[in-house]
Structure 1
Amino acid sequence: MAENDLTEVVQRWQRTPEGEFKEEDRELFINAGRTIVAQGDGGKLLDFFREQRNQGIVKSMGCGLMAPLVDEALKRRKSLVDCRAAIHHLVQTCRPADLQDVLLEQVKSHPEAISDTIMLLVPALQTALLRLGDRKGPSVGATLEVLQTQVAKLPVPYTPRQEREDAYGLGRCCGALLDFVRPFVAEVQGSNATADGRLRTELLKFCMLSLRDPLLQAHLDGPQSSLWNFATQITIILPAIQHPLPKLLLCPTPRKMEQSGDRGESRACLAYLLFVQLIAMEMFPAVFSPVFVLQCNMDYINLLLSSKEEPWLMKGLELYEKSLERVEDGSLPVALLELQSFSRVPQNLVEIMTVCPMEHLKTKGLAVFQLFTDKLSGEAKHKFFRCMLKTSHHAGVDGHIIKNIKKQVDLTRKAAGSVWFSGSHLLSLLQLALCLPQGAETDLLNGMDRVIESLNLLRFLLIVQKGHGSIVDASELHALAERYLKTLRACLCMSRSYYSSEVKGIREDHKNKAKEAREAQRGKNPARDITVKNEKLSSMSPEVQHQVLQSALVTFDLMESLVVRIEELMEGSCTPEI
């Protein structure tokens, strides 16, 4: 029946002047074709397409059969080969503009089979666009936008195994996109600078969007990775379309970046590919100084470290690390700390080190933070330490800074350090380091990292003063130490008394579990407000509470032993040892 309908359409075509059909004729043709496809007879429809006498009909109305052919091909039935061949014939016969609209609609119409749809239709779209001739830029741009929007919906593999398995087809789709743009890149590459500027712009937009998604999310796993190959090809395409990598990174043109849809993320990924993965590094001139490259990368580093996404954060940390490694120790001047791009990075690092829930990022952040500190000049270190002690409000960070002060004092003592860590300069740092943030009411358990490091620093300074000559005015150091120790002793006394009473209370609770349960039901059991490492003590089990409180008392013993040792040094009753 359907074949008879097609025959009737052919006869009407032959009788109709200039091939002008009525709408009912078109519907008859499309319905007949759909029926043939649905019956699994794609071969019969292909034979109809190939007959010379039917070429006018196919050219005029064949696009209407693209949807059923695509649906059938995606189902992978026995007529798959015939359906693919029929699609190819339509692409060679129908009007390119009509084909583009129909094919893009099909790309968007199969959300459950994104990768299969793209793999099926990208060659057809490429063929259709190549038939457009000159001034194909807008059409290429519209097609790439739809394709990349669909590809962006695919999950990015997190592990090398996931990438090898390519269960969702992201790797295959990236390869298909590269195949799609290749002839258009060749066309631009072979033309002069002004030929089809729109096509050049659309290809730039494709590259920049690819850098942002999926490459910024991807964990690249070396040359054997499909996404690594995708990244490598993007870095080859950019200079081929007359956008050199150094120019994109170091002096981007705002207008071109705006046209490419880049808000900085794409160039941040490009910097990561060059300086961390060393992809296309041979294209980057070696004449730029490490400090200049670091300065140029700071905005990208800040952007990545401001994210909440693990791949972005790791790329930012690695880019910062590699940029710093090229810089000589102690060479970053204090003036750089005044630049907004430099001043924001330590804040981002501190947030990663203190707030981020992922331990590997915390560890990496601390290592990069220390590397940054090592690269600062003596004056820059001094200013940075002062700033951090005033603003960090985190005992762990303060403890790390105080440990670095001790390190710099030791270098100065050995005549290898900076004048910024002796005399009045050092004293200004000690006034910030040797104090308790809340005086005698400071929570010593949460502040123990800072307190222990400050006591170690003070002990070290007194030993240096006794055995190796003064590095800071002795009377001022002793006065500062006496004030600090007096406040600390008062704080230790209050803290020990409070925590001892809590331990006693928990022991009593253990002896009266039944009574505690009854009181808890009646709401008479008061919640304790002690906080340990950002966790309420009352939220812990009684056993863990007891362990925490006992650990606190041990910590207080350690602090007190250091206090006693320091007081002995101040009285001159012990032998100095470093």
Structure 2
Amino acid sequence: MNEDQVNYIIQGWRDKPQGDLQPEDYQQFKDFGSACLTGDKSAQLLTFLQDKKNQGLVKTMGCVLIEPLVKEELKKGKSLDHCQAAITHLTGTCSPNELLHSLVGLTEDINPVAISDTIIALIPHLQTVLLQLKDRKAAGLGLALSALQKQLSRLPVPYTQQQEEADEYGVCRCCNALVAFTRPFMEEVKSKNGNCVTNSEDEEMRTELLKFCMWSLSEPLLEAELNQDRQTSLWLFATKIMVLLLAIQPPLSELLFFNSVKKWAQTDSTQSKESRACLAYLLFVQLICIDSFPAVFSPVFVLQCNMENINQLLSSKKESHLLKGLALSAKSLENVQDNSLPVSLLELRSFSSMPQNLRQVLTDCPIKHLRESGLKVLQLFINKLDTEAKYKFFRYMLKTSNHAGVESYIIKNIRDQVEFSMQPGNANKWFLGEDLLSLLGQVLCLPQEANSDLLTNMDKIMESLNLLRYLLLRDKELKNKTGVWEELCRIKDEYLKMLRVCVSISRGYYSAELKALREDQKLKAKEARDAARSARLVKSLAVRHEKVPDMSSEVQNQVLQSALVTFDLMESLIFRIEEITEEKLKVYR
């Protein structure tokens, strides 16, 4: 199309009343702008847009040029300055409502590699347009933030410090840009905080900013590794989000403990349990804005309220969530006095769920440092329970854990509590007397009686034998309790009798397996010698031995030998316990 034809079309647009412009005119106007950009005529397009004679056309149809101009801007070519100037002119001329929807439309179906660049490019234009809105500004802000956050959530969050510094996908840059984007709206809300008279628009603006903050807590902050000693980009972003929360109200205590999010924002995303859990982590672990948190809440109340947040994090499979959950657990427990948590708290669902979530970490998590942290948290939790609560907690864990390692750790704690109870002034009915016998009934038992797998249950069995030996050595304290010593001996006899049978069966099985393995090794050695003499025989053997064992013969031999050594250890402990019993009986005859 030559210049005369273009001028003819432009004049036709000018001559038409604005109300008579048809959809094809808008499309032709967009094609005209796109042609200028692809034909390296961005300067001419800018001149056209700024021409006073064309302001009526620009005001009416200029919005359709936003898409090609932004796409050209993203290329960052030699026309960048002209494109930015053209967009600036359009944002000052066209309808803000139409521009807003045009800009938001550009966030849909972005190529993943262009997400961060697109967000960075759109944010200043969106801010300009929103600030020009006279009505429904809060709704427009919510629309824009929702669209931007939806795209940002598609990007992987950097986890390590190196990833954050590299910021390969631009997540950190986008987060900082979003904070800058919301700043004028936050300032507008802050200026009205002291004003008693607020309207629905003010409340809606607070709601949209709160939704943005709660989303940011869930994505990306919950996924990020945060450390106050290493104030990275995302840590600073977290600080800005917390400051923004303080500025827009409600108070942090209401958000955390009294579920006031529901009052302010009626969407699932802003009511997210993950967001509140991350908020608790930033407040109590990273200590961001802790000075603004009321000091009137007791440590027990804070722990009780945080249990839901802790369970939310510990029930996750993600390392970043588990790390935050364990840290929040430790911080929430540290301020509670030892031996102070009453048994009534264990009846709360959140308190009974926490140990089970912790058990999942201890038994199923493949990451060693998380398992080690989990064990420390478990011990910290036990230390905070009062005597009755400890007793009932031990019974609960022995009944529900179904894991020998966890059960052995509980049995070790039972021994510690018995020892503590035997000290002067510490006597109690829970770990001395009949209640102890009831607890021992859970400890001194085999899950499948004589058919129990001793190797799987080795940790629990060895710890239970150690506890039994300890109790027999402390006979003086137990004999002071009517009937306790006699019942302990009865429980001991039944347990050791069943254990001897189980050891005998297991030893016979593993000895037979070891004998069969050695015979098989001899046979294979002979076959190997024969195979060296005949290639045909090698081929024949390869056909016959299709099933390959999961372990090499050497490893199988080590496993079987280790099992037999374990049975020897168990038998030596059983023998020692019987010796102690005989010695005590001689003394009291």
What TM-score comes out, normalization by structure 2 length? 0.91
Which sits farther off after the overlay, 133-142 or 334-343?
133-142
1:296 maps to what in 2?
305
1:156–1:214: 8 Å Cα contact kept in structure 2?
A: yes
Q: Is the 8 A contact 2:227 2:286 kept in 1?
A: no
- Residue by residue over 1:466-520, the C-alpha shift from the partner in whole angstroms, topping out at 9 and shown as x without a partner, is 6997578222222221221111111111111111111111112212227699789
Letter in 1 for 2:393: F
In the alignment, which residue of structure 2 is the partner of 1:410? 419
Decide whether aligned partners of structure 1 residues 519 and 354 sit closer, same or farther in structure 2, where only a CA change above 3 A counts.
farther
Q: Does 1:350 align with 2:359?
A: yes
Contact 1:63–1:98 under 8 Å retained in 2: yes
* 1:139 lines up with 2:147 in the alignment: no
- Separation (CA, whole Å) in 1 of partners of 2:258 and 2:318: 27
RMSD across aligned positions (CA): 2.5
In the other structure, the counterpart of 1:183 is 184
SS of the residue 2:107 aligns to: helix
Moved more, 463-472 or 516-525: 516-525
**8 Å CA contact retained: 1:185, 1:237:** yes
Mean CA deviation greater in 84-93 or 12-21:
12-21
1:460 has 2:460 as partner? no
Q: Map of 1:211-290 to 2, 5 A cutoff?
A: 211-222=217-228, 224-253=231-260, 254-259=262-267, 261-290=270-299
Give 2:215's aligned residue: 209
- 3-state SS in 2 of match to 1:332: coil
**Match of 2:568, as an amino acid?**
D
**Structure 1 stretch displaced more, 6-15 or 376-385:** 6-15
Asked whether the 8 Å contact 2:257–2:305 carries over to 1, the reply is yes
- 2:535 counterpart residue number: none
Tell me if 1:481 matches 2:482.
no
1:138 offset after TM fit, Å?
A: 1.2
Change (3 A) 1:294 1:521: farther
> CA contact under 8 A between 2:156 and 2:169: conserved in structure 1?
yes
User: CA, structure 1 residues 122+438, in 2 after alignment: closer, same or farther (shift >3 Å)?
Assistant: same
Structure 2 residue identity aligned to 1:291: V
What residue in structure 1 maps to residue 60 of structure 2? Answer: 60
Amino acid at match of 2:186: V
Distance 2:26 2:399 in 1: 78
Cα distance in 1 between the residues matched to 2:327 and 2:511:
46
Task: Please report how far the alpha carbon of residue 358 of structure 1 lies from its aligned counterpart in structure 2 after TM superposition.
Answer: 2.4
SS state of the match for residue 512, structure 1? helix
Q: Are the counterparts in 2 of residues 209 and 262 from structure 1 also a CA contact under 8 Å?
A: no
- Residue in structure 2 matching 1:380, options 380, 386, 389: 389
Asked if structure 2 preserves the Cα contact closer than 8 Å seen for 1:220 and 1:227, the reply is yes
State how far apart, in whole Å, the 1-side matches of 2:461 and 2:369 are: 26
Q: 1:426 Cα deviation (Å)?
A: 1.3
What one-letter code is carried by the residue in structure 2 that aligns with 1:241?
A: I
> Residues 6 and 297 from structure 1, CA distance in 2 versus in 1: closer, same or farther, beyond 3 angstroms?
farther
Alignment match, 2:532: none
Residue 123 of structure 2 is matched in structure 1 by: 122
Please tell me the residue identity of whatever aligns with 1:474.
W
Shift of 1:274: 0.5
Deviation per CA, 1:398-449, whole angstroms, max 9, x where unpaired? 1111100011111112236451211112111111111212112211111100
Residues 452 and 559 of structure 1 are in contact (CA less than 8 Å); yes or no, is this contact kept in structure 2?
Answer: yes
Residues 524 and 493 of structure 1: CA distance in aligned 2, closer, same or farther (over 3 Å): farther
Aligned residue identity for 2:348: L
Per the alignment, do residues 294 and 23 of structure 1 end up closer, same or farther by CA in structure 2, a change over 3 Å counting?
closer
- Measure, in 2, the Cα distance between the counterparts of 1:449 and 1:482: 20
Whether 2:342 is the aligned partner of 1:333: answer: yes
Sequence identity percentage: 53
Contact 1:568 1:574 in 2 (8 A): no
Shift of 1:344: 0.9
- Paired residues of 2:362 and 2:375 also in contact (CA < 8 A): yes
* CA–CA separation in structure 2 for the residues paired with 1:423 and 1:22: 93
Matched, 1:512 2:523: yes
Q: Is the 8 A contact 1:9 1:29 kept in 2?
A: no
**Residues 20-73 of structure 1: per-residue CA shift (max 9 Å, x gap):** 434444333322211110122322212222222222221111121122211211
Q: CA deviation at 1:151?
A: 0.6
- Secondary structure at the aligned position of 2:455 is classed as coil
**Structure 2: segments with no counterpart, 5+ residues:** 529-537
Indicate the residue corresponding to 2:86 in structure 1. 86
- Tell me the CA shift for residue 294 of structure 1: 0.4
Q: Secondary structure of 1:180's match?
A: helix
Aligned to 2:151: 150
CA distance in 2, matches of 1:553, 1:417: 42
Taking a change above 3 Å as real, the CA distance of residues 575 and 121 of structure 1, as seen in their structure-2 partners, is farther
Distance, in Å, in 2 between the alignment partners of 1:34 and 1:344 is 60
Deviations 1:310-335 (A, max 9, x none): 22222112111110111111111001
Q: Distance in 2 between matches of 1:418 and 1:85?
A: 83
Aligned mates of 1:573, 1:205 — CA distance in 2: 70
| 2:102 corresponds to | 102
State the shift of 1:242 in Å: 2.1
**Counterpart pick for 2:402 among 378, 381, 393:** 393
Distance 1:398 1:3, change over 3 A: farther
Using the TM superposition, give the Cα deviation of residue 255 of structure 1 relative to its aligned residue in structure 2, in angstroms: 4.0
The one-letter code matched in structure 2 to 1:129 is L
Shift of 1:570: 0.6
TM-score by length of structure 1 reads 0.92
- What is the rounded CA distance, in whole Å, between the counterparts of 2:2 and 2:167 in structure 1? 41
Q: Distance in 2 between matches of 1:345 and 1:23?
A: 61
Give yes or no for contact 2:433–2:478 (8 Å, CA) kept in 1: no
Q: How far is the alpha carbon of 1:4 from its aligned partner? A: 4.7
- Matched residues, number: 565
Q: Distance in 1 between matches of 2:585 and 2:8?
A: 114
**Shift of residue 257 of structure 1?**
5.0
Q: Distance in 1 between matches of 2:100 and 2:319?
A: 38
CA–CA separation in structure 1 for the residues paired with 2:2 and 2:301: 72
Further displaced range: 471-480 or 295-304:
471-480
Distance 2:108 2:67 in 1: 12
Is 1:497 aligned to residue 508 of structure 2?
Answer: yes
Distance 1:249 1:408, change over 3 A: same
Per-residue CA distance 1:189-229 (angstroms, 9 max, x = gap): 22246231222211111111111111111111436211111
Corresponding position: 1:199 with 2:195: no
1:5–1:28 CA contact under 8 A, matched in 2: no
Structure 1: where are the runs of 5+ without partners?
Answer: 528-537
Q: CA deviation digits over 1:545-575, x for unaligned, max 9?
A: 2111111111111111111111111111899
Q: Aligned partners of 1:569, 1:49: CA distance in 2, in Å?
A: 101
Distance 1:541 1:463 in 2: 45
Find 2:432's aligned residue among 394, 399, 422: 422
Give the counterpart letter for 1:248 in structure 2.
L
Kindly indicate whether the alpha-carbon contact (under 8 Å) linking 1:9 and 1:28 is maintained by their aligned counterparts in 2: no
Pick which of 285-294 and 9-18 moved more: 9-18
- Give the Cα–Cα distance (whole angstroms) in 2 for the partners of residues 521 and 494 of structure 1: 36
User: In structure 2, how many angstroms separate the alpha carbons of the residues matched to 1:2 and 1:25?
Assistant: 18
> Who is 1:433 aligned against?
443
SS of the equivalent of 1:385 reads helix
Contact 2:478 2:484 in 1 (8 A): no
